[in-house]
Amino acid sequence: MRLISWNVNGIRAVDRKGLYDWFKNESPDIFCVQEIKALPDQFPLHLKNTPNYHIYINSAERKGYSGVATYTKQKPKAVKTGFGIQKFDSEGRTLITEFDDFILFNIYFPNGKQSQERLDYKLEFYDTFLSYADNLIADGKNIIVCGDFNTAHNEIDLAHPKANENVSGFLPIERAWIDRFIEHGYTDTFRQYNEKPDQYSWWSMRTKARERNVGWRIDYFFVNNSFLSNVKNAFILQDVLGSDHCPIGIEIE
């Protein structure tokens, strides 16, 4: 089974750049999309009625903002659109789909750069998610978490770590949360297969950073450690254009 995650930075914008043809050719079993910036009735029809896929959309209450969508060939046993907490769920950041062997979280985690208030919101969102995930693990479930975490974990995960030590996305408090996430029994799948530097998933559009590969790895697939043996590959599709992020993926059995 092949799973792909992509922050598209506007599904209508990336559709004009060939998303649908790429999606058809790639044909993943599950495709998780973040930052759709569209209500369900604003989706291009071919992306709302894609053959062979069930589609679930969780849009933000605010138009043109945030939002996630999950495409899956296999119909889930259950679907939830958030944690049951209004201040988080209103931004349309979470889709939780349950299958026989795992529960999949498709999440667009908040960005903390705008203000201290948004950084606090981001950290509280992190903790709310972790508590929710840990409770599922305690119930004997397996978990896959994918999406834009909006934090680079280690120095290897961004081009200029020293210059960004005081920038949200690489703050010690944000990185420490990922450490704690891992300590709770979850694994960054990509680093199980690739320990090389210069492996990024996001590049600033303002500085032509992608052409120079001056990027950040802020998009992830995590799984709980008990499920790790089911993961057979993890990858970044750096050559796929259309957004300021590129797709990432895993293969599981």
Residue 11 main-chain phi, psi, to 5 deg: -70, -30
Rounded to an integer, what distance in angstroms lies between the CA atom of residue 110 and that of residue 125? 8
Give me the phi and psi of 219, to 5 degrees please.
-110, 135
Phi then psi for 23, rounded to 5 degrees?
Answer: -60, -45
d(CA 3, CA 207): 31
Residue 198 annotated as catalytic: no
8, exposed or middle or buried, with CB in 10 Å at 0-12, 13-18, 19+? Answer: buried
Tally of CB atoms within 10 A around 2 = 16
Whether 233 contacts 4, CB under 8 Å: no
Q: Which residue has the tokens 């799973």?
A: 3
Catalytically annotated residue among 41, 127, 148, 179: 148
Residues with catalytic roles: 148
